[in-house]
Structure 1
Amino acid sequence: MSPSLGRSAARGAMFTLGAQGVKILLQLLSVVTLSRLLTPHDYGLMAVVLVIIGVGEIFRDFGLTSASVQASELSSGQRDNLFWINTGIGVVLAIVMFVLAWPVQAFMHSPELVPIVRVLSVTFVLNGLTTQYRAQLMRALRFRAMAVIDIVAVTVALGSAIVAALLGAGYWALVLQQIVSCLALLLGAVATGRWLPHRYSRQYEIRSFVRFGWNLVGANLLSYGGKQVDTLIVAGRFGTTPLGLYNRSYQLIMTTFSQIRSPLSNVAIPVMSRVQRDEERFNTYVVAGQIALGYGLGIPIALVAGLADPVVQIMLGSQWTQAAPYMRFFCGATLMSTLAFVGYWVYVSRGLGSQLFRYSLVELAIRVVCIVVGSFFGMLGVAAGVFVEPLLSWSLSIYWLSRITPIPVKALWLGGFRILGLTGVVTAVSWLTASSIHAGAWLTLLTGIGVGAVAVAAFLIVPVYRRDARELVSFIRLMLRRDR
C-alpha cells in the first residue's frame, strides 16, 4: 500500500466519519427541536414529498458521480459535458415534479401538497448543478473540504428551519430546510471547486460514462424499491399503529448506521479506483475495508441488539417498548449488510455497473421473498425476513464477485466469520446482563456496555483477533498522522 495514498484514505475516512457524526448529532437536534415546534401533520406532508424526491434523486445523479470518480482518466471537456447532463436532468425532473403536484394531491387528498411539491421541485435543479462539483472533490480526495461543506449546509439549514418554525411557518419550515441545505451545498462546492464549466461539446466522448451510470441507476432503483417492500406490506396487512412501531425502530437502527457507513464510499471508491490495476493492493483494501466496517460498526450494533430494551426506553420512551424485538432483527440485518457493503465498492471501483445491476435484481428477489414469507408470521416475521435477506446476500455477493473479478474470497470469508463470532458473543452477554439487572434504563445500559467491552477484550487472547486489532489500531494511527 502506498504510504501517501494510505494516509489519504485513512484521513479521508476520519474527516468523512467526523462530518457524518456531526451531521447525525445535528439531525437529532433537529428532531428534538422541530418536533416541539411543528405537528405530526407537518412531518407527514414532508414525508410524502421526500419519497418522490428520493426516486427523482436517483435519476438526477444518473450514476455519473460514481462514473466520473472511478474513471482512470477524465478530461476537462468530459467533466464539462457531465456537468451539463446532470444539470439538464435536474431541470427535466423539476418540470416533471411540478406537473405531478396535482396527481399527488389527488392521491393523498391533501391540498397543501400542491405548493410544497412545486416549491421543492427546485431542489432537482440545485442538486443537478452540484453533482459534478462534488464528484471532482471526491476524485481529488478533498475529503476535508467536503466535510466542512456538509456540516455548514446542515447547520445553516437547521437554523433557518428553527427560525421559520418559531415565526409560525408550519410545514414551510421543513420546506425551507430542504432548499437552504441544497443551496448551501451548491455554493460551498462551487467556491471550493474553483472551476466554471464550458459549453457542451460533442468533441468529448462520454458514452462510456452514461452506460456505466445507467446501470447504477437501475441498481439504485431496485435497491430503493426493495427498501420499501416491508413498509408497504406492514401498512397493508397490519395497519398504521404497528407500522409506526416498525418504522421508528427501523429508522433508529438501520438508517442511523447506514448514515455512518454509506459516506465511507466517498473515501473507499476513489482510492480503490486508483489501485484497481494493482490486484494485490486492491485486495488489501477490500479485506481491510471489511475488517474496519465489521468491527467498527459491528461491536456497537451488537451492543444495541443485546441492550435493545434500555435503548428503546432512553431513546424513544416507555410507550415504544414493543419496538425492542424489531430492533434486534434490524441490528442483525445491519451487521450482515455491513459485511456485504465492501462488495458494492468493488463493483463501482472496477466499473462493473452492468454486473451490479444483475446482482441487484437477484438481491431484490431474495428480499421480496423473505419479507413476503415472513409476513405470514406477523410483524416479527417481516423483521426476520429483513434480517434473513442480507444473511443470504452476503454469501451470494462473495460468490458472485469471485466469478467476475479477482477478490480474496478466503480472507473475506474468514474475516466475516471472525466478526460474526465476536459480535454474537457481545450480543449474548450484554442481553444476559440486561435481563438479570432490575434497575433503571441508564444503569442497565451502562452495565451492559461494560460487560460487552470485557467480552471484546477477552477475544484479544486469540492471536488472530490480536492481529485484527493491530490492523485497526494502525488504521486509526494512520488517520491521525499528518503528511510530512
Structure 2
Amino acid sequence: MYSSLRVQTFRGIVWSSLDRFSAQGIQFILSFIIARRLEPSDYGLIAMLGIFMALAQTFIDSGFSNALIQKQERTEVDYSTVFYFNIGIGVILYGILYLLAPFIADFYNQPLLEDLIAWVGLNFVIYAFSTIQRTKLIIELDFKRQAFISIIAVVVSGIVAVWMAYNGYGVWTLVVQGLLNNVIILILLWFSAHWLPLWIFSKQSFKELFGFGSKLLGGSILHTIYINIYTLIIGKFFSSIELGCYNRSYTITQYPSSNITTILTRVTYPIECRMQDDNERLQEKYFLFIRLTAFCVFPMMIGLAAVADPLIRIVLTDKWLLCVPYLRIMCLAYMWDPIMRMTWDLLNVKSRSDYSLKSEIIKKVTAFIVLLITIPLGVEMMCVGLVCYTFADLIIVSQYTKKILPRVVFLEIVKELFPVLCLSLAMGGIVYFIQFLINVLWLQLLSGIIIGIFFYIGIACVMKFKEQRIIGELLMNLWH
C-alpha cells in the first residue's frame, strides 16, 4: 500500500509537471520572444490590473475547490451548486470592474487602462465556467488530460501573440493572448471532462462547503492583496518602466517557484486528505514532500539568481537590465514558496481552516508592516522585504501546525532542509564566481548552468543525500 501510494503520488507529480512545465515552458519561451518586441511599459500597464484580476479570481473560487477536494463524500449536487455560484460571482465581478474602470485609469493616470479593463475583465466570466471541470480532474489526479489541454491552449494563443507583437499591436498583444488562452481551455475542458451540471442549487450544500471554504477565502484574499499590492504601489509611486521590470522579474521568478508549488500541492493535498486521520503517517509524508521539494527547488532558484545578469542580457536585451537586482532578490524569497504552501495546507487537510485564516491574518499584518517600512527605500528594498516576510510566514504558520501535528515546527522544518540549503548556496556561489572568469555572455550562462548541475548532483552523490536516492527509486518504479 505504501509503495503503491508513493508511485501514485509520483505519477501524479510527473503528469502535473508536464501540465505546468510543458504548457508554461512554452509560454515562458514565447513570453521572452514577445518581450523583445514590446516595451517594459506595456507589461507595466497589464501589471497595474494584476491586483484586480487576482482578487476577482480568488472571489470566483471562494475556497470551494479546496472544500470539494477536502470533502470525502462529495455529490453531484455539491458540484452543481458551486458551478452556478462561480458563474454568478464571475458576472457580478466583471460588472463591478467595468464600472470602476474610469476610476482605476484616473488612479494610475493611464487613460488606456479603461479600454483594457473592458476586455481583460472578460477572463472572470470565462474562468468561472471552467473551475468545476478543473477541480474534478484534480480530485481524480487526472493531470495527463490537463497537460494536453494546457499545451494546446498555450501554443495557439502564443502563436497569435507573437504575430501581434511583431506587427505592432503593443499591449493588446498581451490582452488577446490571455483571452484566447482561457477560451481554448474552457472549450477543451467542457469537451473532455465529461461533466454537465444539474439544474439545481442547494442551499444546504452551499452552506456546508462555504463553512469550510469561506475561511480559506478570507486567507486567500489577504494573500492575494499582499502579493499584488506591490504592483499597485510601484505603479502609483514609481515609473511604468520600473513596474514593467519588477513584473518581468516576478514572472521569471514565479515560473519555477509558482509552477512547482502548484504541481506539488495539486497532487499532495488530495493525497494528504486521504490520510487526514493518521497523524503519524501524515507528518511522515509531509517531511518527505518538503525534503524532495527543497532538493529540486533550492538549487534551481539559487542558480537562477546566480546567472541573472547574463540571462537577462541575452534573452531580454539590455533595456531590461533593471530586472537583474530584482530577480536575484526575489529568487531568494520565492524559493521558499512551495515549503510555505505545503505547511499551510496541513491546516486545511486537518479541517482547521479556522487556523489557516488566523495564521494568514497574522502573517499579512506582519507583511504589510514590512512593506510600509521598505516603500520609501525604493523597489529593490521592497524586494528585500519579501525575503524577510518569507521567514516570518513560515514561523507563524508553524505555530498553528504544531497544535495539530506536534513534529511540524519551524526548527524541525529548518533542520530537515538545512543540508540541501547549504549545498544549494555553495553551488550558487561557484556559478556566480565563474562569471568573473569569462567575458562572453552566452558562455557565462552555459558554463554556469552546466557546472552548477554537475557540482550539485556530484556533491549530493558523494554525501549520499537520501533525497537523491528516493527520486532515483521513484523514477525506476514509475512505469512498473
TM-score when normalising by structure 2: 0.89
Partner amino acid, structure 1, of 2:416:
G
Cα separation, 2, equivalents of 1:237 and 1:431: 33
- Percent identity of paired positions between Structure 1 and Structure 2: 23
Aligned to 1:426: 427
**What is the CA deviation profile of residues 273-293 of structure 1, one whole-angstrom value per residue up to 9, with x for unaligned ones?**
122122233223211210121
- Distance change >3 Å, CA 121–CA 243, structure 1 → 2: closer
Q: Which deviates more from structure 2 when the two are superposed, residues 197-206 or residues 177-186?
A: 197-206
Cα separation, 2, equivalents of 1:165 and 1:440: 29
Q: State whether structure 2 residue 81 is matched by structure 1 residue 84.
A: no
- Distance change >3 Å, CA 309–CA 170, structure 1 → 2: closer
Partner amino acid, structure 2, of 1:3:
S
Q: Which deviates more from structure 2 when the two are superposed, residues 60-69 or residues 204-213?
A: 204-213
Aligned to 2:133: 133
- Distance change >3 Å, CA 164–CA 276, structure 1 → 2: same
Q: Shift of the alpha carbon at 1:139?
A: 0.9
Aligned to 1:413: 414
Aligned to 2:75: 75
Partner amino acid, structure 1, of 2:199:
R
**What is the CA deviation profile of residues 330-371 of structure 1, one whole-angstrom value per residue up to 9, with x for unaligned ones?**
221122333323213313333332211211122112222333
Q: Which deviates more from structure 2 when the two are superposed, residues 297-306 or residues 101-110?
A: 101-110
Q: State whether structure 2 residue 266 is matched by structure 1 residue 266.
A: yes
8 A contact 1:429–1:455 mirrored in 2? no
Cα separation, 2, equivalents of 1:450 and 1:119: 43
Aligned to 2:474: 475
Q: Shift of the alpha carbon at 1:117?
A: 2.5
Partner amino acid, structure 1, of 2:264:
L
Q: Shift of the alpha carbon at 1:405?
A: 3.8
Partner amino acid, structure 1, of 2:430:
V
- Distance change >3 Å, CA 440–CA 230, structure 1 → 2: same
Aligned to 2:340: 340
**What is the CA deviation profile of residues 278-315 of structure 1, one whole-angstrom value per residue up to 9, with x for unaligned ones?**
22332232112101210111111122233333333333
- Distance change >3 Å, CA 78–CA 445, structure 1 → 2: same
Q: State whether structure 2 residue 252 is matched by structure 1 residue 252.
A: yes
Partner amino acid, structure 2, of 1:355:
Y
Aligned to 1:121: 121
5+ unaligned residues in a row in structure 2: which ranges? none
Aligned to 1:279: 279
- Distance change >3 Å, CA 421–CA 145, structure 1 → 2: same
Cα separation, 1, equivalents of 2:96 and 2:229: 25
Structural mapping, 1:449-468, within 5 Å:
449-452=449-452, 453-463=454-464, 465=465, 467-468=466-467
Cα separation, 2, equivalents of 1:386 and 1:249: 13
Q: Which deviates more from structure 2 when the two are superposed, residues 173-182 or residues 265-274?
A: 173-182
Partner amino acid, structure 2, of 1:74:
R
Cα separation, 2, equivalents of 1:242 and 1:166: 23
Q: Which deviates more from structure 2 when the two are superposed, residues 65-74 or residues 412-421?
A: 412-421
8 A contact 1:81–1:199 mirrored in 2? no
**What is the CA deviation profile of residues 149-170 of structure 1, one whole-angstrom value per residue up to 9, with x for unaligned ones?**
1222222222344456677766
Cα separation, 1, equivalents of 2:446 and 2:108: 45
- Distance change >3 Å, CA 285–CA 56, structure 1 → 2: same
8 A contact 1:67–1:212 mirrored in 2? yes
5+ unaligned residues in a row in structure 1: which ranges? none
Cα separation, 2, equivalents of 1:235 and 1:295: 36
Give the number of equivalent residue pairs. 478
Q: Shift of the alpha carbon at 1:68?
A: 0.6
Partner amino acid, structure 1, of 2:435:
A
- Distance change >3 Å, CA 97–CA 143, structure 1 → 2: same
Partner amino acid, structure 2, of 1:481:
W
Partner amino acid, structure 2, of 1:225:
I
Structural mapping, 1:30-69, within 5 Å:
30-35=30-35, 43-69=43-69
Cα separation, 2, equivalents of 1:164 and 1:230: 29
Structural mapping, 1:185-224, within 5 Å:
185-202=185-202, 205-224=205-224
Q: Shift of the alpha carbon at 1:59?
A: 0.4
Q: Which deviates more from structure 2 when the two are superposed, residues 321-330 or residues 159-168?
A: 159-168
Q: Which deviates more from structure 2 when the two are superposed, residues 71-80 or residues 171-180?
A: 171-180
8 A contact 2:69–2:139 mirrored in 1? yes
Q: Shift of the alpha carbon at 1:470?
A: 0.9
- Distance change >3 Å, CA 193–CA 238, structure 1 → 2: closer
8 A contact 1:283–1:407 mirrored in 2? yes
Q: Shift of the alpha carbon at 1:472?
A: 2.2
Partner amino acid, structure 1, of 2:419:
R
- Distance change >3 Å, CA 36–CA 396, structure 1 → 2: closer
Cα separation, 2, equivalents of 1:477 and 1:302: 28
Aligned to 1:301: 301
Q: State whether structure 2 residue 111 is matched by structure 1 residue 94.
A: no
Secondary structure of 1:351's aligned partner: coil
Aligned to 2:398: 398
Give RMSD over aligned pairs. 2.9
Cα separation, 1, equivalents of 2:111 and 2:463: 63
Cα separation, 2, equivalents of 1:430 and 1:237: 35
Secondary structure of 2:470's aligned partner: helix
- Distance change >3 Å, CA 145–CA 365, structure 1 → 2: same
Cα separation, 1, equivalents of 2:303 and 2:166: 38
Cα separation, 2, equivalents of 1:167 and 1:449: 34
Structural mapping, 1:228-247, within 5 Å:
228-232=228-232, 234=234, 239-247=239-247
Aligned to 2:181: 181
Aligned to 1:361: 361
Q: Shift of the alpha carbon at 1:324?
A: 3.2
8 A contact 1:133–1:193 mirrored in 2? yes
**What is the CA deviation profile of residues 384-415 of structure 1, one whole-angstrom value per residue up to 9, with x for unaligned ones?**
22112112322333333112445444753321
Q: State whether structure 2 residue 167 is matched by structure 1 residue 159.
A: no
8 A contact 1:219–1:357 mirrored in 2? yes
Q: Shift of the alpha carbon at 1:64?
A: 0.8
Secondary structure of 1:481's aligned partner: coil
Secondary structure of 2:72's aligned partner: coil
